Copies of this chain bind each other. A is one copy, B any other.
Amino acid sequence: MEPKETKTRLLDAAEHLFAENGYHGTSLRMITTAAGANLAAVNYHFGSKEALIEAVIERRLLPLNRLRTERLQALLADADNRAAAPDLRQTLAAFIEPTLSFRHAGPGNRDFIALIARAMADPNDTARNIFISRVLPVFKLWHQCLSQALPQLDAKTLSWRLHFAIGALSHIMHNLDKLPPADAMPPAADSAREITEMLLSFLCPGMEAPQ
């Protein structure tokens, strides 16, 4: 097979190095060296270092968001057909299952998760803003789905509980490598499904608890 395009090699190297060393901690010299390209290649192909990380984020995030949106919209359509509220567990699963599976879906995805964790805590707004602006519509759709599945909750309680769920999910996403510390872990291949079940069993009772 012919070697990849320089642009793709730059994206791959940047994804890996940004995940490992953060945005500031990764220099264009490191990226271009790892990609086997010239130092000026990033500025030539992307315009700047910021435009590079923007491209890195969008490459992985847009397909994942498409997956989650499809599942949530299918759930809404089905509930509408049955003239009933969507099931809570299915609503949670529609967002959580694709998210947790994402790590195992491709070679660069684990790096991408680490990159996002870094970006969310980075003082540099650009990466975080790119991520948030792309994720917010899916959160809104999820929120809408949940408010139909849990009509007995007032808006404020639902908002808080949604944030609790997001916190549990994202914490697991970012720290899956390192935990649990002592216990034997199931093999990575089917762990996504098992963790999903574990998380859903935990979240469902909390979401529908009396106020």
Contacts and interface: CB of A to CB of B under 8 A. Distances in A.
A63 interface: no
Contacts of A161: 198, 202
B121 A121 contact: yes
Nearest to A159: B180
Interface residues of A, number: 46
Q: Is the interface of A mostly helix, strand, loop or mixed?
A: helix
Given A118-B123, A121-B118, A121-B122, A167 B160 contact: no
A169 interface: yes
A144 interface: no
Copies of this chain present in the complex amount to: 2
B183 A156 contact: yes
Contact of A167 (B21, B124, B172): B172
B123 A120 contact: no
B123 A121 contact: no
Given A123-B21, A160-B180, A168-B167, A211 B201 contact: yes
Nearest to A207: B202
Contact of A180 (B163, B170, B207): B163
Contacts of A160: 180, 195, 198-199, 202
With a 10 A CB-CB cut-off, give which of A155, A159, A198, A206 has the most chain B CB atoms.
Answer: A206
5 contacts: A25-B123, A163-B168, A163-B171, A168-B168, A171-B171
9 residue pairs, one from A and one from B, having the closest CB atoms: A167-B171, A205-B205, A121-B121, A206-B206, A164-B168, A159-B180, A24-B24, A167-B168, A202-B206
